[in-house]
Amino acid sequence: MSAHSEPSSNSLTPGMCMLQPCRLHKAHSFPAQFEAKFDLGIWHSLFGWQILTVAIQNQWGGPDSADKRDWLAGQISELFASDPETEAEDVEVMLLQVLEDEYGVRLEDETEVAVAREIMTIRKELSEGSTATVDRLQAKWEARKGKEVSTGNVQVREGNQDAEWDSVDEETDEEDGDVDMNDAPALVAVAKPKAAPQIDEDGFTKVVGRRGR
């Protein structure tokens, strides 16, 4: 599936299970007719995740980077199918793991928290018979005509993987002398901080144009 293809409202998006088979037998925590809505909501939540969009646009996950997003949506759906008691923290762990394992990206902005919470909100609403959040996300997607979300407030810098290990691991590496200096650096995504408003002598907020920044 291309990054601009419309997700199906009746099934998982095309290419959802391209990388490996995924079975989507769900526990019926909400009416069966809402199962496709849940899959659609998961897909939209991932589609709106800016750092994942950056990773796909730059093909950090290889030529099938966009398909991996579809695959991830299927894995999250399967997570709930296998354990209806899945919590937001479980989704966060999966998001971070896939982002690092498949795209080589480590996050510092904790945006996975918002994505996981949105998915949990969708599931809760569907269990109550509401499709409000899914419909809102679908409407936003249609308004953009399938275009990727803006990624202007995402900053990516190269980070040293070794710096992420704790002191115990560092000591072990030094003792074993087993550090590979040829390892590619990890990419660490961080959100750009918003510029603080400038106040003049009279207490008024200055309006600064883009060129003045």
Per-residue pLDDT of 11-69, as tens digits, reads 334 344 334 334 333 444 677 788 999 999 999 999 999 999 999 998 999 999 999 99
Tell me the residue type at 153.
Answer: N
Summarize pLDDT for 112-130 with one digit per residue, the tens: 999 999 999 999 999 999 9
pTM higher than 0.85: no
State the Cα–Cα distance between residues 203 and 48, nearest whole angstrom: 38
d(CA 120, CA 11): 19
Q: Where are the domains of the chain?
A: 32-143, 154-191
Residue 107 sits at φ, ψ, to 5 deg, of -95, 150
Dihedral angle sign, alpha carbons of residues 116, 119, 125, 127 = negative
Find all residues with CB under 8 Å of 2, minimum gap 6, and list them: 66
Q: What CA–CA distance (Å, rounded) separates 77 from 99?
A: 17
107 beta partners = 189
Question: CB under 8 Å to 165, separation ≥6 — which residues?
Answer: 173
pLDDT of residue 17: 39
Which pair of structure tokens corresponds to residue 194? Answer: 């918003």
Q: What tokens does 140 get?
A: 């936003």
Q: What is the pLDDT of residue 157?
A: 66
What mean pLDDT comes out for the span 176-202?
48
- Residue 130: φ, ψ to 5°: -110, 140
Pair 36, 42: CB distance under 8 Å: no
**DSSP letters for 45-106:** HHHT-HHHHHHHHTTTT-TTHHHHHHHHHHHHHHHHHH-TT--HHHHHHHHHHHHHHHH-EE
* 195, pLDDT greater than 90: no
Amino acid at 149: V
Grouping H, G, I as helix, E, B as strand and the rest as coil, residue 199 is strand
